[in-house]
Amino acid sequence: MIDGLVKENLVNINSQISKSCTQSGRTASDVTLVAVSKFQDDGKIDEALSAGLRVFGENRVQEAESHWTARRAQYPDLQLHLIGPLQSNKTKDAVALFDVIESIDRISIAEEIAKECAKQHKNPVCLIQVNTGNEPQKAGVSLDDLPALIQKCRDLKLNVQGLMCIPPVNDPAAFHFSLLKKLAARHRLPLLSMGMSADFEKAIRVGATHIRIGGALFGDRQESSSPPSLLSAS
Ligand SMILES: *Cc1c(COP(=O)(O)O)cnc(C)c1O
């Protein structure tokens, strides 16, 4: 690891955020950078913390626990976002750890989360992940099923605040960002989590309130060299 790399990347990302905000008449403080720390080693995570970052995203519950359970005591102002698909047997741990759950994608998991929230006296901010490209292999609720899922979350008294999407790789991302924005407005949801390393500037210009950045901040992930246990679904 080159010391200071994360800090240097962060300076560049922050200036790109400012620029995109200026171009679209927005304020940089209206955009939250979610630092995606999946597959990153302790050194990089600590570097991000010392650079002042406090909002982190993880897509596996177990890996998130190993990254954050101890650090939480040290950094009480941490805000942890679950950005990967949630399995029902991990709901209890997810509700215990995460402040924001961005990946609600079906009624059954909304019900499980609501049950755990009641048990643990918690009320995390919830976003619904939308499969805007209707890709069969991708997580997220279909456009057709979105209205019923939003209604269900509201009936369950979940603190549902927004939508999240990951555009199909080969489509123009801006189309999917605009679609997500339209859907959020239609359902009166203020938060929009969209945009990753390759396309966050576009997402900001369309109206993203949360951008999820891994590679551009931390450098390459160690995905290929991870043991199989890490790669299995959380
Ligand atoms: C890994 C991941 C990201 C970060 O992707 P980068 O291209 O590394 O910025 C963002 N969102 C989700 C849901 C992810 O799984």
Distance from residue 218's CA to the centre of ligand 1 (Å): 11
Residue 140 lies in a domain: yes
Best CA proximity match to 57, nearest among 101, 21, 90: 101
Name the residue with the closest Cα to ligand 1, atom 4: 214
Query: For the purposes of burial, counting CB atoms within 10 Å of the CB of 4, is it exposed (0-12), middle (13-18) or buried (19 or more)?
Result: exposed
**Under a CB-based contact definition with an 8 Å cutoff, are residues 160 and 128 in contact?**
yes
Residue 231 lies in a domain: no
Give per-residue pLDDT as tens, 104-136.
Answer: 999 999 999 999 999 999 999 999 999 999 999
Residue 172 lies in a domain: yes
Name the residue with the closest Cα to ligand 1, atom 10: 212
Q: State the Cα angle at 80 between 150 and 158, rounded to 5°.
A: 25
Domain with 110 in it? 5-218
Give per-residue pLDDT as tens, 32-48.
Answer: 999 999 999 999 999 99
Distance from residue 155's CA to the centre of ligand 1 (Å): 30
Burial 142-171 (b: 16+ CB within 10 A, else e): eeebbeebbebbeebebebbbbbbbbbeee
Q: How far apart are CA 233 and CA 222, in angstroms?
A: 17
* pTM of the shown model: 0.93
Residue 234 lies in a domain: no
Residue 191 lies in a domain: yes
Residue 83 lies in a domain: yes
Residue that has been written with the tokens 């499969």 in this structure: 131
Distance from residue 142's CA to the centre of ligand 1 (Å): 20
Residue 100 lies in a domain: yes
Domains in the chain, number: 1
CATH at 97: 3.20.20.10
Residue 62 lies in a domain: yes
Q: 71-78: long-range contacts (C-beta < 8 A, 24 or more apart)?
A: 71/45, 75/49, 78/54
